Copies of this chain bind each other. A is one copy, B any other.
Amino acid sequence: MVSFSTFVRSDGAPIYTQIVQFIQRGIAAGTILSGDELPSRRVLSALLGVNPNTIQKAYRILEDEGLIQSHSGAKSCVSASPEQREKIREQLLCDDVRKLIQALRQSGVEKAEAAALVERLWDES
C-alpha cells in the first residue's frame, strides 16, 4: 500500500497536482513500486481532507500517463515499467533543474556559485 504519511501540502499549487507529483517522484525514487496498491479515492480524500473528486482528478492524470491502473470495483495499483520509471525520473529531474538554472541565470548567478549554493543549502532542509 502506497503511504501518504510523508505527503505535505505546500505552496499555492493545486492539490491534485501535488498528489500527481508525489506519486511520480515516489516512482522515480523507487519508494513506490509497480504493483503497490493505492489508497481508494474515498480513503485518501478523508485522509487529506479534500473532496473525492480532487483525488479522482489526480488518479485520472496518472492513469492517462500509464503510471497506475484502475479497474472498476477494485483498488487501483501502480503499474510503471522500469523503462517508464527511468524515463519519468530523467524528465522530472531535468525539468526541475532547468527551471532553477533559468531562474539563477536571470539573477546573475554563475555556474560555480549555483552548484555551491545547492550543496550549502542541501543540509539545511
Q: How many residues of A contact B (CB 8 A)?
A: 38
Report the minimal beta-carbon distance from A9 to chain B, rounded to whole angstroms.
13
Residues in chain B near residue A25, CB distance under 8 A: 103, 106-108
Residues in chain B near residue A121, CB distance under 8 A: 94, 97-98, 101
Report the minimal beta-carbon distance from A70 to chain B, rounded to whole angstroms.
23
User: CB of A93 within 8 A of chain B?
Assistant: yes
Considering the complex, give the chain B residue whose CB is closest to the CB of A117.
B97
User: CB of A22 within 8 A of chain B?
Assistant: yes
Segment with Cβ contacts to B, from A26-34, A35-43, A54-62:
A26-34
Residues in chain B near residue A29, CB distance under 8 A: 106-108
Contact B96 A125 (CB under 8 A): no
Q: Which of A69-125 contact B (CB under 8 A)?
A: 89, 92-94, 96-109, 111, 114-115, 117-119, 121-123, 125
Q: Can you list 6 A-B contacts with CB-CB less than 8 angstroms, sorted by A residue number?
A: A22-B106, A92-B103, A92-B107, A93-B104, A96-B100, A96-B103
